[in-house]
Amino acid sequence: MASMVMISTTAIPDHVGGALSRWLIEPCPGLFVGTVSARVRDELWSIVSASIGDGLAVLIHPADTEQGFAMRTAGRRRRHVIDFDGLQLIKFAATGPDDTSETASAIVN
């Protein structure tokens, strides 16, 4: 069953934005919104997270959780999604001149 998804991107390669715009609309720069199946959503996210380069991306989609949605992130960022007793919360990481942490968040359902 199709559901609404939102992908927010910053400083991604042009080909990644092109791939996203085939399936989703871009109402403002870097924000992609649409209604797709879970399979298409997961394929789009694998393309984005594998090709993020120096950019960053956040995927928000409906899920059977207390909050009603799930978040995934990829790329270098200061905010990290953490699980706190089944709730997804945002943790701010300290930044420094040599901070090069780059991770992709796991799926939390």
Beta-strand (E) ranges in 1-109? Answer: 3-10, 25-28, 31-36, 56-62, 69-75, 79-84, 87-92
Domains and CATH numbers, the chain: 3-92 (3.30.70.240)
Percent with pLDDT over 90 in the chain: 70
95-109, pLDDT tens digit by residue?
Answer: 655 555 555 555 554
What per-residue confidence (pLDDT) applies to 94? 78
Q: Which residue has the tokens 């409906």?
A: 62
pLDDT at 66 over 80: yes
Q: What is the pTM of this model?
A: 0.80
Angle (deg, nearest 10), helices 14-21 and 38-50: 170
Measured between alpha carbons, how far is residue 67 from residues 61, 72, 88, 92, 101 in Å?
A: 11, 14, 8, 20, 28
30-63, pLDDT tens digit by residue?
Answer: 999 999 999 999 999 999 999 998 899 999 999 9
